[in-house]
Amino acid sequence: MYASDPARLTAGRSTSGKGTGPFATGIDGYIARIGGTPLLRLGRVAAGLTGAELWAKAEFLNPSGSVKDRAAWAMVRDGLDRGALGEGRTLLDASSGNTGIAYAHLGARMGFGVELCLPRTVAAERIDRLHRLGASVVLTDPLEGTDGAQDEADRRARAAPGRYFYPDQYRNPWNPRVHYQTTGPEIWEQTHGRLTHFVAGIGTGGTLTGTGRFLREQTAEITVVGVEPDRPMHGIEGLKHLPTARVPPVYDPGLVDRTIRVSTEAALEMQARLASEEGLLVGRSSGASVAGALTLARSLREGIVVTILADRGDR
């Protein structure tokens, strides 16, 4: 599996995959648990499909509980390699929660400070977890969503450039790159190259872009599908309604063949079904992704549809 070697997350770099500098102690075992997540057949929620199969990658099994462990470590590692995250620097970024939690776990384990800008609508469980991990939380205008959180992080980074390491997950090329290097190859290997459709929610766009790009390079027959909320004011944390939101620079819409819009109600219903019918306690964005993937699979006579279970349902 691709996750057994931490160097997988920095493929093509000159480093060995071991921590360096002041934050090296005790990190290798934690990093070795990132990635290599299993692919699960969703047989019960997809009962009645006549030809297609529905599978989901269990990214909630990453050490901090979400797919964002991959990008968070890749961006932190890049900051360490470049010396941008050095002694006395605090990691600053905007997040809807999962990337922030991944940063906070790394910061607590490695000994650097973490300051996060989040919209005030973020679930109380996420904020509580961040506080318990020692992160500083700045809550921003809920009506501006993650765009407002990003604006606040930009402002703080400009005001005190010597204080912060600002990876900026919405613009950082390591966000999609790590999925190109790890998530895409894992899915290709796990399906023995048989998948026909890849479906993922659109938040920063890193997972969809990086994974989709790798899969598209393996075969032009792959269909890449994005999932987004069906309206601007929604309750699916982590996903963006792109027609009314700022399109993240790391997102490549040219890779996406189709976008499926999912209501908050449909995401919540599927989240409940995944728990009661599949034994998978996952978050709302996972419910949205599976709901979108199931809609797609129902329209197919045959195919292998793979989607992402982005996080656990405890946040």
Are 182 and 294 in the same domain?
A: yes
Are 81 and 188 in the same domain?
A: no
CA distances from 235 to 89, 231, 240, 246, 268 (A): 34, 10, 10, 18, 9
Are 195 and 262 in the same domain?
A: yes
CATH number at residue 281: 3.40.50.1100
Whether pLDDT at 248 is above 80: yes
Whether pLDDT at 10 is above 60: no
Chosen domain end from 111, 146, 165:
165
Tally Cβ neighbours within 10 Å of residue 182. Answer: 24
Are 289 and 200 in the same domain?
A: yes
Are 199 and 73 in the same domain?
A: no
CA dist 36 and 23 (Å) reads 24
Domain count, the chain: 2
Map 107-159 to HEC letters: HHHHCCEEEEEEECCCCHHHHHHHHHCCCEEEEECHHHHHHHHHHHHHHHHHH
Whether pLDDT at 250 is above 60: yes
Residue 135: per-residue pLDDT: 98
The DSSP output letter for 246 is P
Chosen domain end from 146, 165, 184:
165
Residue 105: per-residue pLDDT: 97
Residue 29: per-residue pLDDT: 86
Residue 19 included in any domain:
no
Are 98 and 160 in the same domain?
A: yes
Q: Average pLDDT of 183-208?
A: 98
User: CA 70 from chain center: how many Å?
Assistant: 8
Residue 86: per-residue pLDDT: 87
**Catalytic positions:** 68, 285
pLDDT tier for residue 46 given thresholds of 50, 70 and 90: very high
Per-residue pLDDT reduced to its tens digit, 252-311: 999 999 999 999 999 999 999 999 999 999 999 999 999 999 999 999 999 999 999 999
Residue 208 included in any domain:
yes
Q: Average pLDDT of 222-235?
A: 96
Residue 232: per-residue pLDDT: 94
Chosen domain end from 165, 186, 210:
165
Are 201 and 230 in the same domain?
A: yes
CA dist 200 and 172 (Å) reads 19
Are 147 and 270 in the same domain?
A: no
Residue 251: per-residue pLDDT: 97
Which residues on adjacent β-strands are paired with residue 262? Answer: 229
Whether pLDDT at 45 is above 70: yes
Are 130 and 238 in the same domain?
A: no
Are 42 and 73 in the same domain?
A: no
The DSSP output letter for 225 is E
Are 98 and 56 in the same domain?
A: no
| Among 201, 176, 213, 211, residue whose Cα is nearest residue 285 | 201
Are 139 and 190 in the same domain?
A: no
Note down the domain range covering 141.
68-165
| Among 50, 45, 205, 22, residue whose Cα is nearest residue 110 | 22
Whether pLDDT at 26 is above 70: no
Q: Average pLDDT of 24-44?
A: 87
Q: Average pLDDT of 231-259?
A: 95
Per-residue pLDDT reduced to its tens digit, 75-94: 999 999 999 998 899 999 99
Do residues 244 and 261 make contact, with C-beta atoms less than 8 angstroms apart? Answer: no
Q: Average pLDDT of 103-116?
A: 96
Residue 171 included in any domain:
no
281 or 315, higher pLDDT: 281
